[in-house]
């Protein structure tokens, strides 16, 4: 009995001291923090339920720089593009880190570039991703993107009721081929299943109404898994083997292919060949493994989110779909599907693409930054270690820049001549040095999916057994890190026999 009581007593004392320390650190000591309510007003350590919307409403009262003191750390929410640019861009040296997250660390996500602090390992991963996915390099991937997209269009054509699963497979198929040289064999592919199982651990654990925006859970490190109330720790430890498989299994596949002399051109094999030539260390090889795994983890749900919200927009705004299809038909004459060379000639398609990412950003609160030293902005004190959230949702609802912001209106990106107006700002990619390193790759995938899908499909409300339209709701979404529409029904039909033949017969190539 004593063997249990003594460590338990030490544990309780440690937790009490930790709590006391956090409360002391949370005192203002006369500092002028930005205005804002306390998170305790909401009965938890964060705002529950669509916090991006609630933060936006609170900003109307407290202003664009809003402070929360959770008792376990400071949180500052930035609701304007100017504030985000001033801190994340102009002061990027201070504001490019991440808050340490004990739950993610216990789950084994501490290697992922998305959550790494601003340090050497992050820089090394960033360089590797930049090597394969920078703007100048993505042209090599474009034939692959178009080829995989055609395969997905065939899946949708053959089984339109499972359109969400088919489009979800698109990102996995492209990424696995580009990163690992692996050809996805279908919706039930084992490598994709492993990766998606790992990504789901984030959907479970990393909610803005929970651990991501809070620094108050570090005591979990000191709790044994059997301790009452330690369910978060147990969940994290159960997830850890799943996350390891996501990194280990496809990486082992690439190494095996190289050993057999069968490897195809891909980012992982390129990095490993360079590593072998330089006689790199095991630590460097592990870095390659984690970098390549992080690319899939970062692309999977974000790309799917944008594509599914595009489909919702087309159902709810058929006039936009008709105008886009008229533009495609006028330029391509129905003889082929759009390619990337056509992008400058399809301004309304470009406008739809940008409006989708504005109207429903995949990560409406971005991934929170952390400041590495005390700072003062607009007269407000921001202490070292503060978590800063760039409320992308609020920025895309700026009525001065985007009049009638809740309305899906692609025309806002066109000039009076119907040409693209040059507004290249996409808040959804993030800010500063933590801007999404795979944004050019994702940009190309989503644009091509929108263009090619509109070229061949009509999207409409599905109907029930009585012939009544089944409503869809673009606000019925998940409350997770990457926001996805909850399952919805949609009627997807080929526009014509010509469109169907384009999907089945014409090889997409640049």
Residue 411 lies in a domain: yes
Indicate which CATH number applies to the domain containing 480.
Answer: 1.10.630.10
Place of tokens 């749900």: 301
For 331-357, the pLDDT digits (tens) are: 998 899 999 999 999 999 999 999 999
116: phi then psi, degrees, rounded to nearest 5: -70, 145
Neighbours of 283 (CB within 10 A): 8
For 110-159, the pLDDT digits (tens) are: 899 999 999 999 999 999 999 889 988 889 999 999 999 999 999 999 99
Residue 442 lies in a domain: yes
Distance CA 277, CA 270 (A): 11
Distance of CA 406 to the CA centre of its chain: 21
- Among 76-85, 186-195, 437-446, the range scoring the smallest mean pLDDT is 186-195
Place of tokens 């008229």: 326
3-class secondary structure, 380:
strand
Residue 452 lies in a domain: yes
pTM greater than the 0.85 cutoff:
yes
**pLDDT (0 to 100) of residue 40:** 57
Say what percent of the chain tops pLDDT 70: 85
Residue 510 lies in a domain: no
**Nearest 10 degrees: Cα torsion 301, 437, 385, 374:** -150
8: phi then psi, degrees, rounded to nearest 5: -65, -40
For 98-107, the pLDDT digits (tens) are: 988 777 888 8
Given a contact cutoff of 8 angstroms between Cβ atoms, the answer to whether 359 and 320 are in contact is no
3-class secondary structure, 376:
strand
**H or E element at residue 67:** strand 65-69
Q: How far is residue 299 from each of residues 190, 202, 306, 395, measured CA to CA in Å? A: 18, 13, 11, 23
Distance CA 7, CA 20 (A): 20
For 64-99, the pLDDT digits (tens) are: 999 988 666 899 999 999 999 999 999 999 999 998
Residue 403 lies in a domain: yes
Place of tokens 């304007």: 80
Q: How far is residue 34 from each of residues 59, 67, 216, 280, measured CA to CA in Å? A: 11, 5, 20, 48
Q: Which residues does residue 78 pair with via DSSP β-bridges, in sequence order?
A: 65, 390
Q: How far is residue 85 from each of residues 81, 89, 214, 430, measured CA to CA in Å? A: 6, 5, 23, 10
Range of the domain at 234: 2-505
Distance CA 37, CA 68 (A): 6
Distance of CA 80 to the CA centre of its chain: 20
| First CA to last CA distance, the chain | 73
Neighbours of 262 (CB within 10 A): 9
Given a contact cutoff of 8 angstroms between Cβ atoms, the answer to whether 142 and 157 are in contact is no
Residue 98 lies in a domain: yes
Distance CA 39, CA 163 (A): 40
Residue 7 has pLDDT above 50, yes or no: no
Task: Quote the mean pLDDT of the chain.
Answer: 86
**pLDDT (0 to 100) of residue 20:** 40
Gyration radius from the chain CA atoms: 24
Residue 220 has pLDDT above 90, yes or no: no
Given a contact cutoff of 8 angstroms between Cβ atoms, the answer to whether 371 and 434 are in contact is no
Q: How far is residue 121 from each of residues 112, 243, 345, 470, 498, measured CA to CA in Å? A: 10, 19, 41, 49, 51
Residue 470 lies in a domain: yes
Distance CA 201, CA 178 (A): 24
**pLDDT (0 to 100) of residue 5:** 41
Q: CB within 8 A of 217, min separation 6: which ones?
A: 45, 72, 101, 102, 103, 211, 232
Distance CA 232, CA 226 (A): 11
The count of domains in the chain is 1
For 298-322, the pLDDT digits (tens) are: 877 899 999 999 999 999 999 999 9
Confidence of residue 218 (pLDDT cuts 50, 70, 90): low
Distance of CA 259 to the CA centre of its chain: 34
Distance CA 78, CA 374 (A): 17
């Amino acid at each position: 009995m004593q063997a249990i009581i003594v460590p338990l007593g030490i544990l309780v004392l440690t937790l009490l001291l930790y709590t006391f320390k956090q409360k002391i650190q949370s005192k203002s000591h006369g500092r002028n923090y930005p205005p804002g309510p306390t998170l305790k007003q909401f009965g938890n350590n964060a705002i529950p339920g669509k916090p991006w919307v609630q933060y936006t409403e609170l900003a109307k009262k407290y202003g664009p720089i809003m402070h929360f003191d959770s008792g376990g750390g400071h949180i500052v929410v930035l609701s304007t593009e100017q504030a985000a640019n001033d801190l994340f861009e102009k002061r990027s040296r201070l504001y490019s880190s991440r808050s340490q997250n004990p739950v993610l660390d216990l789950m084994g996500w501490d290697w992922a570039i998305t959550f790494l602090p601003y340090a050497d390992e992050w820089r090394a991963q960033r360089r590797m991703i930049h090597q394969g996915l920078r703007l100048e390099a993505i042209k090599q991937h474009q034939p692959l993107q178009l080829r995989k997209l055609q395969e997905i269009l065939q899946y949708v054509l053959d089984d339109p009721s499972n359109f969400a699963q088919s489009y979800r497979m698109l990102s996995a198929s492209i990424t696995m081929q580009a990163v690992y040289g692996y050809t996805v064999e279908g919706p039930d592919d084992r490598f994709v299943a492993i990766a998606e199982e790992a990504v789901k651990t984030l959907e479970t654990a990393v909610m803005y109404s929970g651990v991501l925006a809070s620094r108050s859970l570090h005591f979990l490190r000191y709790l044994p898994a059997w301790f009452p109330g330690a369910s978060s720790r147990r969940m994290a430890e159960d997830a850890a083997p799943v996350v390891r498989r996501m990194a280990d299994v496809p990486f082992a596949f690439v190494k095996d292919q190289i050993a057999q002399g069968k490897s195809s051109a891909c980012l992982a094999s390129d990095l490993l060949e360079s590593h072998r030539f330089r006689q790199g260390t095991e630590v460097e090889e592990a870095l390659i493994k984690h970098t390549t795994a992080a690319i899939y983890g970062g692309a999977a749900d974000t790309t799917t989110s944008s594509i599914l919200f595009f489909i919702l927009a087309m159902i709810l705004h058929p006039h936009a779909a008709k105008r886009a299809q008229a533009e495609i038909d006028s330029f391509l004459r129905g003889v082929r599907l759009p390619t990337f060379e056509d992008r400058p000639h399809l301004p309304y398609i470009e406008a739809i693409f940008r409006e989708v990412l504005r109207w429903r950003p995949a990560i409406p609160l971005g991934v929170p930054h952390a400041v590495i030293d005390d700072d003062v902005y607009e007269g407000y004190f921001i202490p070292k270690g503060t978590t800063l959230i760039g409320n992308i949702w609020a920025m895309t609802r700026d009525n001065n820049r985007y009049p009638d912001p809740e309305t899906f209106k692609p025309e806002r990106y066109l000039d009076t001549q119907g040409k693209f107006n040059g507004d290249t700002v996409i808040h959804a990619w993030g800010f500063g040095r933590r801007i999404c390193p795979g944004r050019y790759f994702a940009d190309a995938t989503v644009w091509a999916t929108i263009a090619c899908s509109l070229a061949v499909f009509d999207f409409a409300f599905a109907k029930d057994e009585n012939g009544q339209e089944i409503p869809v709701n673009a606000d019925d979404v998940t409350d997770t890190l990457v926001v996805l529409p909850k399952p919805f029904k949609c009627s997807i039909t080929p526009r014509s026999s010509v469109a169907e033949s384009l999907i089945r017969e014409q090889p997409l190539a640049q």
